[in-house]
C-alpha cells in the first residue's frame, strides 16, 4: 500500500535497528483518512470471504477495526480486553500474550457471548512483530470453535519471526507494509 509506505517514510521515527514509531498517524494520534484507506485495502485483500466479525485487541487495534468494519458491511467488531475489569463477564475465553514492547505478559479475554462457532473472523492489528498477539487471538477463536479467516496487519516487521510463524501455520496474513530492514535510519520494504 503505497500511501502507507510513503507515510511511514515521511513521518515514522526509527530507533536503532528494530524500533519504528508511527504514533503521529497510527497508534497515538490517528489519521482518520489514512485509516479509511487502510480499511479499503483490507477489504480488497479479504473480499472473497464471508466474514462475520472482526476481532482485534485493545488499544491501538480498536480504531482500525471499527473503521475497517465499515468496508465489510458494518459487521460487528469484538476487541479482546487486556486487563481484568470488575465489570467483565466471568464467562470468557482467554489466553496469555507476551509483549516485548512492554516487556511483560498479560492476559487477553473475550466474553463467550461475542464469538460463536458459526463466526468467521478476520483479525485486524496495527503491528506484527513476534506474532504473540495474533497467536493469542487465534487461541481464543479456537476455544470458541470459530473460524479464523486471516489476519490484516498494517505494518509487519518482516525481519522478526511473527509473519513466518503465522504463515507456516496456514494463516493468511496480509500486511499493508512489510519492513525488510531498518539500517542506519533507512527503512527498506519487502513489498
Min CB(171)–a second copy separation in Å = 23
- Which listed range, 80-88, 116-124, 136-144, 172-180, lies at the site for a second copy (CB under 8 A)? 80-88
**Angle between helix 60-69 and helix 32-45 axes, rounded to 10 deg:** 60
Listed in sequence order, the residues at least 6 apart from 10 whose beta carbon sits closer than 8 Å to its beta carbon are: none
- Which listed range, 24-32, 144-152, 157-165, 172-180, lies at the site for a second copy (CB under 8 A)? 24-32
If one asks whether residue 114 binds a second copy (CB under 8 A), the answer comes out as yes
CA distance to 27, 114, 137, 141, per residue, from 93 (Å) = 26, 10, 10, 8
If one asks whether residue 90 binds a second copy (CB under 8 A), the answer comes out as no
Count of residues in contact with a second copy, rule CB under 8 A:
43
If one asks whether residue 48 binds a second copy (CB under 8 A), the answer comes out as no
C-alpha cell of 134?
Answer: 495474533
If one asks whether residue 76 binds a second copy (CB under 8 A), the answer comes out as yes
If one asks whether residue 31 binds a second copy (CB under 8 A), the answer comes out as yes
Question: 127 to 186, contacts with a second copy by CB under 8 A?
Answer: none
- Nearer to a second copy by C-beta: 33 or 164? 33
Of the candidate residues 2, 10, 16, 32, the single one contacting a second copy (CB under 8 A):
32
Min CB(9)–a second copy separation in Å = 18
DSSP state of 114: G
Give the DSSP letter string of 32-101: HHHHHHHHHHHHHHTTTS---EEEEETTHHHHHHHHHHGGGTT--EEEEB-S--TTS-SSEEEEEEEETT
SS3 182: strand
DSSP state of 1: -
Backbone angles phi, psi at 135, to 5 degrees: -60, -40
Of the candidate residues 3, 62, 165, 187, the single one contacting a second copy (CB under 8 A):
62
Residues that bind a second copy (CB under 8 A): 19, 21, 23-24, 28-33, 35-36, 58-60, 62-63, 65-67, 69-70, 74-79, 81-83, 85-89, 101-103, 110-111, 113-114
Amino acid at each position: 500500500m503505497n500511501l502507507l509506505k510513503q507515510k511511514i517514510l515521511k513521518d515514522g521515527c526509527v530507533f536503532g535497528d528494530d524500533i519504528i514509531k508511527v504514533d503521529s498517524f497510527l497508534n497515538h494520534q490517528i489519521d482518520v483518512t489514512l485509516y479509511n484507506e487502510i480499511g479499503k485495502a483490507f477489504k480488497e485483500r479479504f473480499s472473497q470471504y464471508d466474514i462475520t466479525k472482526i476481532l482485534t485487541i485493545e488499544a491501538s487495534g480498536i480504531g482500525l477495526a471499527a473503521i475497517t468494519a465499515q468496508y465489510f458491511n458494518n459487521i460487528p467488531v469484538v476487541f479482546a480486553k487486556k486487563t481484568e475489569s470488575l465489570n467483565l463477564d466471568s464467562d470468557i475465553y482467554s489466553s496469555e500474550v507476551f509483549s516485548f514492547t512492554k516487556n511483560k505478559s498479560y492476559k487477553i479475554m473475550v466474553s463467550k457471548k461475542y464469538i460463536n462457532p458459526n463466526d468467521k473472523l478476520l483479525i485486524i492489528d496495527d503491528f506484527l512483530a513476534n506474532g504473540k498477539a495474533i497467536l493469542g487471538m487465534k487461541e481464543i477463536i479456537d476455544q470458541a470453535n470459530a473460524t479464523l479467516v486471516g489476519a490484516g496487519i498494517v505494518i509487519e516487521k518482516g525481519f522478526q519471526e511473527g509473519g513466518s510463524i503465522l504463515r507456516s501455520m496456514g494463516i493468511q496474513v496480509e500486511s499493508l507494509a512489510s519492513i525488510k530492514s531498518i539500517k542506519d535510519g533507512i527503512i527498506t520494504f519487502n513489498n
